[in-house]
Amino acid sequence: MTAERFPAQLVDLQESQHYWAFHSLLFLCQSDDSHTFGLKGTNVNVLTCDFQDKQYVGFATLPNQVHRKSVKKGFDFTLMVAGESGLGKSTLVNSLFLTDLYKDRKLLNAEERINQTVEITKHTVDIEEKGVKLKLTIVDTPGFGDAVNNNECWRPITDYIDQQFEQYFRDESGLNRKNILDNRVHCCLYFIPPFGHGLRPVDVEFMKALHEKVNIIPLISKADCLTPNEVKKLKDRVRDEIERFGIKVYQFPECDSDEEEEFKQMDKELKECTPFAVIGSNTVVEARGQRVRGRLYPWGIVEVENQSHCDFVKLRNMLIRSHMHDLKDVTCDVHYENYRAHCIQEMTSKLAQDNRTDSPLPILPLPTPDVETERLIKMKDEELKRMQEMLEKMQQQMHEKDQ
C-alpha cells in the first residue's frame, strides 16, 4: 500500500517521521469512511476506519456452531411405556411418532397372559424431519399388571433401568468414552386405566419404585371412555393421590422471564392439564370434510388431535417440541448422578472395608522356658546388675575428684 493511491489534497508528507506515521495509520484503516482526522503538529489528514466493525470478535456464532454439530451428530431418545394390556400403549406411541413400531407383534389370548411374566422389549427406529435425525427407542413392558398376583411385578423394569445406568457408568469409566451409546431411559409414560376411581395400589407402588430412577409422566388412557366432567374429576383425584403418597412425577421447569409469551402460555396449559388424558388412533376418518386421525362411533367422531377432545396434542408438544431436551438433562443430571454417586460410595466403602483389619492380631502362646534357658537369663541379669554397680561407683569417684 503506497501514498499514491490517495488524493494529493488528503496527504501532505514533508518529513520521514510523518511518512511512517502515515503508513501506520494506513495499516489500521480498512474502510473507505469519509470522516477524517488530523495528526497533531502536521497538516496530514487521513481517512478513518469503522472501529465498530473491529469490535466484533465472532463468538456470537457459537450457538450456530453447536447447532450444526448437533444436527450432524443426531439425537437419541429412549421412551418407556408401562401399563397393563389393553390401555392403548402401542397405538399412542404410533400416533405420537407417525410410525408403526409393532408390525410383528403377536397378540396373546387371555390364557397366555395369565402365565406371562413381565418382559422388556425394545423397538428402535430412525426418524428424520427437516434434516434433523432422531434415534428413537421405545421400551415396552408386556405382561405388567396382567397377572393375578402382581406382587413386585415392577422388579424387571427397575432392574432394566439400573442395568442401563450401570452400562453407561462402565462406558463412561472406560477408554472409548467418545463413542458412548446412551441407552438410559429418559422418560416413562405410565398408563392409568380410566375405569377406576383413582390410583390403584399397583399404580402407587410402581411409581414409588421408579420415581427416583426415571422421569414419570402419568397418563389417563382411553379418555374417550369418559365424559369431560369425569375426566376432570379423575384428574383432580389422581393429582391429590400423587401428592398424598409422595410420588415424584416429572416437574416442568419454570419459564425464564425473557421467554416468549406464547411459550409461557403453553407451559402454563401443560402444567394445568396433567395428568394428560389421551386418545390414540392409527385410523384416518372423515370429519367436517377433512381427513383426520380419530375414532368413529355411532354417536360421532373422536379426533385425536382435537384439543377439546383430549390432551394428545399437549402431550406431543411437551414430549417432542418443548421438553425432550429437559427430560434428557434431568435424566443425566439428577437420576444418573444419583446412581453414579451411589456406585462410587459403595465402591469406596468396599475398598475401605477390604483395607481395614477388623480382627486384632492373634497372640501366640510363648513357649515354656527350659532349665538351661532360665539359667542363662539369670546370668544375664546378674551381669547387668554388676555393670550397673560399677557405673555408679565410677560416677561417684568422678564426683569426688571434682570437689
Amino acid 174: pLDDT: 80
Amino acid 35: pLDDT: 46
395 by Cβ neighbours in 10 Å (0-12 / 13-18 / 19+) ranks as exposed
Amino acid 268: pLDDT: 83
Euclidean distance between CA atoms 115 and 169, whole angstroms: 35
In this predicted structure, the answer to whether residue 394 has a pLDDT above a threshold of 60 is yes
Regarding predicted confidence, which is higher, 55 or 359?
A: 55
In this predicted structure, the answer to whether residue 116 has a pLDDT above a threshold of 80 is no
Which residue's C-alpha cell is 411459550? 263
Considering 12-26, 62-76, 134-148, 206-220, the range whose residues carry the highest mean pLDDT is 206-220
Hey, which residues does 313 pair with through a beta bridge? none
CA geometry: angle 288, 289, 295, nearest 5 deg: 60
pTM of the predicted model over 0.85:
no
Euclidean distance between CA atoms 355 and 159, whole angstroms: 30
* Pick from 85-89, 102-106, 113-117: least confident: 113-117
Relative orientation angle of helices 336-355 and 155-173, to the nearest 10 degrees = 70
* Pick from 13-22, 167-176, 364-373: least confident: 13-22
* Pick from 105-119, 313-327, 377-391: least confident: 105-119
Task: Reply yes or no on domain 65-351 having CATH 3.10.310.10.
Answer: no
Percent of the chain with pLDDT over 90: 25
Regarding predicted confidence, which is higher, 360 or 103?
A: 103
Residue 164: pLDDT band (50, 70, 90) is very high
Answer whether 255's CB lies under 8 Å from 267's CB: yes
Euclidean distance between CA atoms 201 and 240, whole angstroms: 15
Per the rule left: phi > 0, alpha: psi between -120 and 50, beta: everything else, 86 is: left
Regarding predicted confidence, which is higher, 9 or 203?
A: 203
Amino acid 165: pLDDT: 94
Amino acid 47: pLDDT: 45
* Cis previous bond, 275, omega within 30: yes
3-state secondary structure at position 317: helix
Residue 392: pLDDT band (50, 70, 90) is confident
Question: Could you tell me how far CA 159 lies from the centroid of its own chain?
Answer: 19
Amino acid (one-letter) located at 300: G
Provide CB contacts within 8 A for 116, sequence distance 6+.
Answer: 108, 142, 143, 146, 147
Q: What are phi and psi of 235, to 5 degrees?
A: -60, -45
In this predicted structure, the answer to whether residue 168 has a pLDDT above a threshold of 70 is yes
Biggest alpha carbon–alpha carbon distance for the chain: 135
Residue 40: pLDDT band (50, 70, 90) is very low
What's the pLDDT tens digit per position in 201-240? 999 999 999 999 999 999 999 888 888 899 999 999 999 9
In this predicted structure, the answer to whether residue 183 has a pLDDT above a threshold of 60 is yes
Give the DSSP letter string of 220-280. Answer: E--GGGS-HHHHHHHHHHHHHHHHHTT--PPPPPPPPTTS-HHHHHHHHHHHHSPSEE---
Amino acid 123: pLDDT: 86
Computed over every residue of the chain, the mean pLDDT equals 78
Which has the closest alpha carbon to 283: 95, 31, 56? 95
Can you give the residue ranges of every domain in the chain? 65-351
What's the pLDDT tens digit per position in 255-283? 777 778 888 888 888 888 889 999 888 88
CB atoms inside a 10 Å sphere around CB 82: 23
Hey, which residues does 135 pair with through a beta bridge? 76, 126
